[in-house]
Structure 1
Amino acid sequence: MSWLTVVRMVQAKGGYRSPEDIQKTPMNPAPDPAQLLPNERVDRIRRIQMNDLESLPYFLIAGLLYVLTEPSLRLAQCLLYGYVASRLLHFWAYLTGQIHEIRATLWTVGSIILVFMTVRTLLVALGA
């Protein structure tokens, strides 16, 4: 996502955040203070990245602990691949500006998978 943010900033010649970003350089031969103004295309990528940063660490931890409970291979594959698919589709929906309900539905699918894996892991850990 960081590289996509950079690509968008270069394409837009803006959306920069730091004052030093508008110094004259070979990559920015004609700096302009307006380059520090918000740019929706760049900010959309930043929002997608923040959303991923909020979700992915939890998935990695929940997924690892879930796998340690030795679930059936088929169920584990469905859950793990399902989560990844929901996040990729969520990324696509966010990137292309789909309506909130589409993004929310895709987010919900991933969240339900995480809740299921977490509850299952807790139940196994408690010996239920």
Structure 2
Amino acid sequence: MPSIVIQTSRALSKEDHTALQEFTSAMVVKGEMSSERVMDEVSLFLHSLERKSPEVAETKPASNGEKNLNGHKIMLVDDDLRNTFALSKALQGLDLEVVIADNGQSALDRLEEESGIELVLMDVMMP
């Protein structure tokens, strides 16, 4: 199961938060700095993979302080084309391979079709 970062503009009740916490270690509330926070969560997650995986560390050149996320694949799920466009461009700028889905069923289908997806970024407010 890939890791999941949840981004939402809805105020979550304690019950909602508890239920979602089972599936994610990061939740980002949409706001002024939410895009940067999502990028930080993705970067932290992918860099944690590099630390855990010695074979990844051996195949990647040493970093000179810049983020090197080349070779990692994530899925972006959002029904708002503006969000998908902006986030996918930013993530591709970090050398990430981005798989896009516009609804939950499409995301599940793509997860079965695509191998190597390490992280799912999903808008939790989709219908």
Q: What TM-score comes out, normalization by structure 1 length? A: 0.27
Structure with the largest fraction of helix: 1
Report which of the two structures shows the higher radius of gyration computed on alpha carbons. Answer: 1
Higher relative contact order (CA 8 A, sep 6+): 2
Structure with the largest fraction of strand: 2
Q: What TM-score comes out, normalization by structure 2 length? A: 0.27
